[in-house]
Amino acid sequence: MTATALLPPRSFQEIILRLQSYWAAQGCAILQPYDMEVGAGTFHPATTLRSLGTKPWAAAYVQPSRRPTDGRYGENPNRLQHYYQYQVIIKPSPPNLQELYLGSLKAIGLDPTLHDIRFVEDDWESPTLGAWGLGWEIWCDGMEVSQFTYFQQVGGHDCRPVSGELTYGLERLAMYVLGIDHVMTMPFNDPQSPIALTYGDIFLQTEEEYSRHNFDGADTAQLLRHFEDAEAECQRLLDFPPDDPKSGKRIIMAHPAYDQTIKASHLFNLLDARGVISVTERQAYIGRVRALAKKCADAFRLTEAGKDAVETSTGVTP
Amino acid sequence: MPDLLIELFSEEIPARMQAKAREDLKKLVTDGLVEAGLTYASAGVFSTPRRLTLSIDGLSPESRPVREERKGPRADAPPAALEGFLRSTGLTLDQLERREDKKGGVTLFAILEKPGRKAPEIIAEVLESTIRTFPWPKSMRWGSGSLRWVRPLHSILCILVDEAGVQIIPLSVDGIRSTNTTEGHRFLSPNRFPVTSFDDYAIKLKRAHVVLDSAEREAAIWQGAQNLAFAAGWHVVEDKALLTEVAGLVEWPVPLMGRIGEEFLHLPPEVLQTSMREHQKFFSVKNPRTGRIEGFITVANTETADHGATILKGNQKVLSARLSDARFFWEKDLRVAREGMTEWLDGLKAVTFHNKLGSQHARIERIATLAQQIAHLVDADPALAKQAAEVAKADLRSAMVGEFPELQGLMGKYYAKAAGLPEAVANAARDHYSPLGPTDTVPSDPVSVAVALADKIDTLTGFWAIDEKPTGSKDPFALRRAALGVIRLVLNNKLRIDLRAIRISADAAFPESIMSGEQVAEGSKPGDDSLLSFFHDRLKVFLKDQGIRHDLIDACLAMPGNDDLTLLVKRADALAAFLKTEDGPNLLQGFKRANTILSQAEQKDGVEYSYGADIKFAETPEERDLFLKLDMAEATIAPAVANEDFNAAMWAMSALRAPIDAFFNAVQINTDNAIVRRNRLNLLHRIRAICGGVADLTKIEG
């Protein structure tokens, strides 16, 4: 641990940077956010798709996440329709994952000898991804600061080996570490900077704009059409024969198809926020997205990155 | 005798699973050891969030050799039979013993000798199989392994201790090898250390900041919490379930007390309590001077240099955020309530109760009609009952109940009051879901009783109509609970209600499409008694728990008016009390004897002997005495039964025991004299009729 880690962080971005360097030091590939609208870091193909198959994997990234129904026009102290998650995914889950996680808390200034850190049962399930796992929410002094999950199934496929997934709700965690009561007043960069910016300086206006958009602005007829389009497109891409005549290679378009799943999922969230989906229809929509996610998972399992390594008689992976 | 110590050390085990896991571990291991031929003196089992521990004292060092003799086929049996026997015993033909049997043939016998086995070998086998088959309600895999456990299993401690010393029982499960070591508290004493016995283990754990016994942790939490509260002149609100849960979340409990912000103290105490318990696992602390909940106790899992100041501050902050939400809901809800709750009532039109039974709104209208109709049966004001039923479920649309579903009803009471509705209406909103089980409080306020009954009867008749009856262990709509609720409402309030008639009123409230359409199930046509039978079944279960046998209830069910549960139970109580007296079983025997003889004669002769016996044909003093005693008993029993004083009726019947016994001893029923015989049979009929005034005694077993 470097000396700076012992000093408390002073800004939102410093917490992110410390998590980045901590997980980089643990050997994770530090990825960038996925360039699509998603509801949570789990949707990033680096988690959903890469948790399938036997190939070892270790990645960490920040993922901007959108939950249209959570929009509060920037007025609620900790509810946002756009926020950041920090995501760590390691396959197979290492035996010391809990210790690694606790190390990351230390790195951002939560010293377990001063705080009360607890692992409280919380099973995770994503009906839209056809995924579930067991684990905990992690409490720091009674506050939920992360989600810790051992993936058991994704896209309807058993996870073998099992991936360990950590998700930090960055705003909430940072507000706790920095002692901030309203997210909009949280220093984004160093408050001593010549141009000091708060979270509100950057996001208050967008929260207002998107809240209005999510609740009133979005064109529901168009959203419905887009949903249907994404669903059809996903299927169309998966229906291509695997052999590509141009390159002469076998190319299954699992990722482009999965992009359409992500799209459908976000469109469903927007429709939900607009209040045009009834309780009974809701289940049907979730089922349609799940069907897409499963098909993409099936396709990914046939690709190089997603297939099971074939063990030879000597046990060495070729 | 050696002692065995086992510890399964894992990542955090959910608190709610620990109690059952303890019992399962103990049962699986001790059963396995005993089955393999070992004995033990005692076993103790413990859990913390990170470990399950089993300590077995006085284990036998080895199992006894077992000699088993198994009889096989005859020597001349077909080869297939012989082969089968050899296969099942694992022996060869020349290893079998040949014995001559009584018929002069030869039968083959296998002598199976199982040598005694050493305890360590058995323990290793039993523990491995226990780990691999452990019945966690939910289990998982981790890493690259295939073993399933509730959360990743990290180490197995397994030692056998005797005079010679400590021995590690070697075993390996999915790459986890047994050792003689364990770990202390995750943060306070994270090092691994070896142990030499259970006592050594418990002492070293405590030094390493782990209290092994959950009962000890519970006691420490409760004591610590009370001490903190007393020091402030407050007291902790008891919550046994929370105490158990919290004890399952910590290895080293450290209670800390804080104050609830002034701005939240006006919230209903149940809201404070629920919010704190559900979200934060805090105990509530009451200030006896104000009668309000003003403080909280949180239980940390660690000691800190600042004596928990940082922890408490953090918890306080989280609580404030939670209670700000609760206050926001409360204030928002109060505005709707003060406007008469119309927004919620309209909203319930959009909420489906069940897709075949319509919306919550439609259901409420039915319940209101029914509550109004049955109000007079429970001494309630019909208008109030109707009004209460109309608003009783309004709170389902409130923000607070949306957040805390367990506050349904209770918030209804607060909001009904805020809406300016009468006290009885507000109470009915709170109480109409009750009773929810065999032991909780039964409403007694007439308006509450009317709505509670109507609510449950509507549920039962509705699901009966669409043929969604409970089957086996499946009862997704909690209909058994609803029926038990009706039973307890009726019995506790001594209500005289004709369930068949109410069912008809309730059925009438459903639209034609449900009640007469094709979806009406076979068993729910008018006149069908399957719902009444369902009530009777639930009543039997309920009364059985109170020590009344099912055959006594059957005896009472055979009587008229059996849809009047209060009457039914009056009969059953009197009958049960009577059978506990000395005369009871004897009279029953006399009755049964009379009944058997009479029934046989009636069957044989093809007539019913109910003509009326005449004392002038009586031949013996015993016979004449029975005539007299029957006259006397009848004179008491008939009015007692009419007044439903079944105890008096049974008491009068008990006076018949001696004369009946004497009668049977003195006379023979089936004499050659046809007139005397007929007269005696007619006399037996009188016994049967008189003794059947309270219950059908033929249904009673024994």
Give the model confidence (pLDDT) of B101-121 as tens digits. Answer: 887 788 888 888 888 999 999
- Residue B600 CB neighbours (<10 A): 12
Q: Which residue has the higher pLDDT, B611 or B292?
A: B292
CB pairs under 8 A between A and B: 103
Q: In Å, how far is A239's CA from the nearest CA of chain B?
A: 33
CA distances from B690 to B583, B647, B654 (A): 16, 14, 11
pLDDT at B546: 84
pLDDT in tens, B203-218: 999 999 999 999 999 9
What topology does CATH give the domain B3-62+118-207? Alpha-Beta Plaits (3.30.70)
Listed in order, strand segments (DSSP E) in B349-397 are: 352-354, 358-359
On the 0-12 / 13-18 / 19+ scale of CB atoms within 10 A, B155 is: middle
Q: Which residues pair with A137 in a beta bridge?
A: A120, A147
| Cross-chain Cβ contact A116/B142 below 8 Å | no
Structure tokens at A126: 């994503």
Closest CA to B384 of B435, B347, B424, B355: B424
Q: Tens digit of pLDDT for each residue in A185-214?
A: 999 999 999 999 999 999 999 999 999 998
Of the candidates B141, B186, B318, which has its C-beta nearest A143's C-beta? B318
How many helices and strands in chain B, by DSSP H and E?
26, 18
Q: In chain B, what residues touch A114 (CB-CB under 8 Å)?
A: 304-306, 310-311
Q: pLDDT tens for residues A115-143?
A: 999 999 998 999 999 999 999 999 999 99
Q: Dihedral, CA atoms, B545, B550, B553, B558, nearest 10 degrees?
A: 160
Q: Are A55 and A308 in contact (CB under 8 A)?
A: no
DSSP string covering A111-160: -TTTS-EEEEE--EEETTTTEEEEEEEEEETTEEEEEEEEEEEETTEE-S
The pLDDT mean for chain A works out to 92
Report the distance separating Cα B167 and Cα B170, nearest Å.
9
Contact check, Cβ <8 Å, B280/A141: no
pLDDT value, residue B514: 64
Structure confidence at residue B523 (pLDDT):
44
Confidence band for B65, pLDDT divided at 50, 70 and 90? confident
Query: What is the reported pLDDT for B522?
Result: 44
Nearest-CA residue of chain A relative to B251? A118
Residue A317 confidence class, pLDDT cut points 50, 70, 90: very low
Q: Do residue A93 and residue B143 have CB atoms under 8 angstroms apart?
A: yes
Minimum mean pLDDT among A63-77, B124-138, B601-615: which range?
A: B601-615
Residue A6 has pLDDT above 70, yes or no: no
Identify the three-state secondary structure at position A79: coil
B352–A78 CB contact, under 8 Å: no
Long-range contacts of A304-312 (CB under 8 A, 24+ apart): A305/A49, A305/A50, A305/A53, A305/A55, A306/A49, A306/A50, A306/A52, A306/A53, A306/A55, A306/A254, A307/A53, A307/A54, A308/A53, A308/A54, A308/A160, A309/A54, A309/A55
Q: Is B393 helix (H, G, I), strand (E, B) or coil?
A: coil
User: Average pLDDT of B117-132?
Assistant: 96
* Residue B1 in this model has a pLDDT that exceeds 80: yes
- Terminal alpha carbon distance of chain A: 37
Inform me whether the pLDDT recorded for B545 exceeds 90: no
CA distance linking residue A88 with residue A61, whole number of Å: 7
Q: What is the mean pLDDT of residues A9-34?
A: 97
Burial (Cβ within 10 Å: 0-12, 13-18, ≥19) of residue B597: middle
**Domains B3-62+118-207 and B576-699 in one fold:** no
Q: Does the domain formed by B576-699 have CATH 1.10.730?
A: yes
All structural domains of chain B with their residue ranges? 3-62+118-207, 66-114, 214-335, 344-544, 576-699
Q: What is the pLDDT of residue A313?
A: 46
Quote the CA–CA distance of B270 and B410 in Å, as a whole number.
8
Q: How far from chain centre, in Å, is Cα B448?
A: 25
Task: Report the DSSP pairing between strands B358-359 and A29-30.
Answer: unpaired
B140 CA: distance to closest CA in chain A (Å): 7
Domain B344-544, what fold? Hypothetical protein af1432 (1.10.3210)
Residue A313: which H helix or E strand, with range? none
Per-residue burial over A34-62, b if 16 or more Cβ lie within 10 Å, else e, is beebbbbbbbbbbbbbbbbbbeebbbbbb
| pTM for the whole structure | 0.79
Question: Omega before B194 cis (within 30°)?
Answer: no
Share in percent of chain A as helix, strand, coil (round to 5): 40, 20, 40
Provide residues of B within 8 Å CB-CB of chain A: 11-12, 14-16, 49, 138-145, 150-152, 154, 186-187, 249-250, 280, 282, 298, 300-302, 304-306, 308, 310-311, 313-315, 317-319, 321, 352, 355
Pair B318, A142: CB distance under 8 Å: yes
Does residue B435 have a cis peptide bond before it, meaning omega lies within 30 degrees of 0?
yes
**Which of A51, A106, A137, A141 to mutate against chain B (most B CBs within 10 Å)?**
A141
Q: Is there a contact between B140 and A133 if contact means CB atoms under 8 Å apart? A: yes
Distance from CA of B31 to the nearest CA of A (A): 30
Torsion of CA A230, A236, A242, A248, to 10 degrees: -90
In tens, the pLDDT along A242-276 reads 999 999 999 999 999 999 999 999 999 988 888 77
pLDDT band at B328 (very low <50, low <70, confident <90, very high): confident
User: Helix, strand or coil for residue B420?
Assistant: coil
Q: Cβ(B602)–Cβ(B608) under 8 Å?
A: yes
Mean pLDDT computed over B507-526: 57
| pLDDT band of A279, cuts 50, 70, 90 | low
Is a pLDDT exceeding 70 seen at residue B526?
Answer: no
What is the rounded distance in angstroms from the CA atom of residue B186 to the CA atom of residue A119? 11
Q: Which of A294-298, B258-262, B649-653 has the lowest mean pLDDT?
A: B649-653
Tell me the nearest-neighbour CA distance from B298 into chain A, angstroms. 9
The reply to whether residue B49 touches residue A119, judged by beta carbons under 8 angstroms, is yes
Structural tokens at position B646: 């079944």
Read off the pLDDT of each residue in B222-228 and give the average, rounded to a whole number: 97
Instruction: Evaluate whether ipTM surpasses 0.85.
Output: yes
User: Which range among A145-149, B415-419, B677-681 shows the weakest confidence by mean pLDDT?
Assistant: B677-681
Nearest CA distance, B14 vs chain A (angstrom): 5
Beta bridge partners of A76: none
**Given an 8 Å threshold on Cβ–Cβ distance, is A142 in contact with B280?**
yes
Q: How far is A166 from chain B (nearest CA, A)?
A: 14
Chain B hits for A138, Cβ within 8 Å? none
User: What pLDDT sits at residue A3?
Assistant: 44
pLDDT of residue B691: 87
- CA–CA dist B450, B368 (Å, integer): 9
* Chain A residue numbers touching B154 (CB-CB < 8 A): 95
B187/A161 CB distance under 8 A: no
CA gap B311, A295 in Å, rounded = 47
Is residue B414 within 8 Å of B435, Cβ to Cβ?
no
Length of chain A: 318
- CA of B325 vs chain A CAs: smallest distance (Å): 10
Residue A253: exposure state from Cβ atoms within 10 A (0-12, 13-18, ≥19):
buried
Q: Tell me, what's the pLDDT at A316?
A: 43
The answer on pLDDT for B516 being more than 70 is no
CA–CA distance, B109 with B104 (Å, rounded to integer): 16
Cβ atoms of B220 and B209 within 8 Å: the answer is no
Please, are residues B152 and A150 in contact by the beta-carbon 8 Å criterion? yes
Look at residue A312 and tell me whether its pLDDT is greater than 60.
Answer: no
Q: What is the mean pLDDT of chain B?
A: 90
With cut-offs at 50, 70 and 90, classify the pLDDT of residue A300: very high
- Give Dmax (Cα) for chain A: 64
Give the residue-averaged pLDDT of B392-415.
92
Q: Best of A72, A90, A96, A116 to disrupt the B interface by mutation (most B CBs within 10 Å)?
A: A116
Mean pLDDT for the stretch of residues B328-340: 92
Three-state SS at B116: coil
Chain A residue closest to B279 (CA)? A142
Q: Looking at residue B366, what is its pLDDT?
A: 92
Q: Which of chain B's residues have a Cβ under 8 Å away from the Cβ of A92?
A: 142-144
- Rounded Cα distance between B502 and A159, Å, is 56
DSSP 8-state class, residue A187: B
Q: Which two tokens stand for residue B355?
A: 């897709």
For B155-185, the pLDDT digits (tens) are: 999 999 999 899 999 999 999 999 999 999 9
Q: What is the pLDDT of residue B519?
A: 43
For A152-159, what is the mean pLDDT?
96
B528 band by pLDDT with thresholds 50, 70 and 90: low
Q: For residue B584, give every residue at least 6 positions away whose Cβ sits within 8 Å of its Cβ, in sequence order, or none.
A: B578, B654
Identity of the highest mean pLDDT range in A128-137, B521-530, B539-548, B689-698: A128-137
Query: What is residue A235's predicted lDDT score, i.e. its pLDDT?
Result: 97
